[in-house]
């Protein structure tokens, strides 16, 4: 049979962090060789929290260019903007009708984000996981590479696929998560008990993929550690553990090797080397980004072509869904 299908998405809700890179994008690249990959800039997800129109526009284009700079090749993968493929919102509406309020009430991302917001909450933030299920199910996705924080949302997508299939007849593929243990959750540099997030209000909490050398060094210097004074990979030292994870992911060295190498040495030494590792790993990405981002007509060509390809598959699945639930074909 044909290749398996991979789908993943990233929100243009800000500039991407090394958490996004390690937990998601870096892992998307090798998948292109083996699978039919769909990678989407999910702008409809981003508006579940307030966005300035001009920032959203800029972030969306930045992220397309950045994904390419990180190695996503539009000739191998379908790279597109979610709102260009209207079937996502349409399928989400259908899936809303078989989703239970109780299921959405249990979503921890909703609970977290609603706690953080002091404004009136919008309904889209609540139904966000249903739109995510629609993204995935529209392409008969087999595998979804995401960070650990998305596990619960993926469970919902699986559940909705099964529910629809048993209520009507076999329609959707039940997707599997692809979660990599070591990079699954990069934590905030300022509070290693919460995940590194591009929407954090403290810019020292994250490193952006496009941060310059000075910013990277400054943020690593300021990263919270502890008073133990020993480089160990332990839950009792979450700050150091997180920095070791970052080191390991960017250098390719194993955690054991790193711990061994820094035995008996101080945090200062370790941080200095980590600065170099991160700066050197991100340098080529930043350089290639500048080049791609400045060619607007190329970017346009990429996302237009991506939308065309994605629409073709999405339309077929949505048509089938509409037919099964009793909508009259046009
Ligand atoms: P926001 O902070 O705006 O809620 P986010 O930074 O969580 O967003 P998304 O665009 O929602 O980023 O996620 C893109 C991908 O990056 C997802 O697969 C997600 O699991 C992964 N990801 C995000 N943050 C981290 C992190 N700190 N560690 C590992 N993976 C992460
Ligand atoms: N919800 C995800 C982004 C996202 C996604 C998707 C990931 C939207 N749709 C489909 C994988 C598959 C997030 O917040 N990280």
Among 21, 23, 50, name the best residue to mutate to test ligand 1's pocket (greatest count of ligand atoms within 8 A of Cβ).
23
- Distance of alpha carbon 280 from alpha carbon 36, whole angstroms: 31
pLDDT for the residue numbered 70:
97
What is residue 182's predicted lDDT score, i.e. its pLDDT?
Answer: 66
Ligand 1 centroid – CA 149 distance (Å): 7
Query: Which residues does the annotation mark as catalytic?
Result: 113, 195, 198
Q: How far apart are CA 254 and CA 248, in angstroms?
A: 6
Per-residue pLDDT for the chain (330 aa), expressed as one digit of tens each? 689 999 999 999 889 999 999 988 999 999 999 999 999 999 999 999 889 999 999 999 999 999 999 999 999 999 999 999 999 999 999 999 999 999 999 999 888 888 877 677 889 999 999 999 999 999 999 999 988 889 999 999 999 999 999 999 999 999 999 987 766 689 999 999 999 998 889 999 999 999 999 999 999 999 999 999 999 999 999 999 999 999 999 999 999 999 999 999 999 999 999 999 999 999 999 999 999 999 999 999 999 999 999 999 999 999 999 999 999 998
37 Cβ inside 6 Å of ligand 2: no
Report how far ligand 2's centroid is from the alpha carbon of 164 (Å).
21
84 CA from centroid of ligand 2 (Å): 16
CB-ligand 1 contact for 9 (6 Å cutoff): no
How many angstroms is it from 125 CA to the middle of ligand 2?
13
Cβ 23 under 6 angstroms from ligand 1 = yes
Ligand that comes closest to the CA of residue 5: 2
Structure confidence at residue 10 (pLDDT) = 95
CB-based contacts of 209, cutoff 8 Å, min separation 6: 15, 16, 17, 18, 20, 21, 66, 70, 282, 285, 286
How far is the C-alpha of 283 from the C-alpha of 212, rounded, in Å? 8
Query: Would the CATH topology of 5-183+295-325 be identical to that of 203-290?
Result: no
What is the C-alpha to C-alpha distance for residues 232 and 238, in angstroms, rounded to an integer? 10
Is the shortest distance between the CB of 149 and ligand 1 below 6 Å?
yes
* Domain range summary for the chain, segments of one domain joined by +: 5-183+295-325, 203-290
Please tell me the predicted confidence (pLDDT) of residue 183.
Answer: 61
CATH of the domain spanning 5-183+295-325, picked from 3.40.50.620, 2.60.40.10, 3.30.420.340, 3.20.20.70: 3.40.50.620
Smallest Cα–Cα separation from 145: which of 238, 21, 328? 21
Select the CATH number that applies to the domain covering 203-290 from these four: 1.25.40.10, 1.10.240.10, 3.40.50.2020, 3.20.20.120.
Answer: 1.10.240.10
């Amino acid at each position: 049979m044909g290749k398996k299908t991979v789908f993943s998405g990233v929100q243009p809700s800000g500039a991407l962090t090394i958490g996004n890179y390690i937990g998601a994008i870096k892992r998307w690249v090798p998948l292109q060789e083996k699978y039919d990959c769909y990678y989407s800039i999910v702008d409809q997800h981003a508006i579940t929290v307030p966005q300035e129109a001009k920032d959203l526009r800029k972030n969306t284009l930045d992220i397309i260019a950045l994904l390419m700079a990180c190695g996503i090749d539009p000739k191998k993968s379908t790279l597109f903007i979610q709102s260009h493929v209207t079937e996502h919102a349409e399928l989400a509406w259908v899936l809303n009708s078989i989703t239970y309020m109780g299921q959405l009430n249990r979503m921890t991302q909703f609970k977290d984000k609603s706690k953080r917001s002091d404004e009136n909450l919008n309904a889209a933030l609540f139904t966000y996981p249903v739109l995510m299920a629609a993204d995935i199910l529209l392409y008969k996705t087999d595998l979804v590479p995401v960070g650990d924080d998305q596990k619960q949302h993926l469970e919902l997508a699986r559940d909705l696929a099964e529910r629809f299939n048993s209520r009507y007849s076999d329609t959707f593929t039940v997707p599997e998560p692809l979660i990599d243990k070591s990079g699954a959750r990069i934590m905030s540099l300022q509070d290693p008990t919460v995940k590194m997030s591009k929407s954090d209000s403290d810019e020292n909490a994250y490193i952006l993929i496009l941060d310059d050398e000075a910013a990277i060094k400054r943020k690593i210097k300021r990263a919270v550690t502890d008073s133990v004074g020993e480089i160990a990979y332990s839950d009792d030292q979450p700050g150091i553990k997180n920095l070791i994870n970052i080191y390991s992911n960017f250098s390719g060295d194993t955690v054991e090797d790193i711990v061994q190498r820094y035995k008996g040495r101080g945090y200062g030494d370790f941080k200095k080397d980590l600065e170099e590792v991160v700066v050197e790993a991100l340098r080529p990405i930043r350089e290639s980004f500048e080049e791609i981002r400045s060619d607007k007509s190329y970017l346009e060509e990429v996302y237009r072509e991506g939308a065309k390809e994605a629409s073709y598959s999405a339309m077929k699945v949505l048509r089938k869904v509409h037919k099964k639930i009793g909508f009259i074909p046009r």
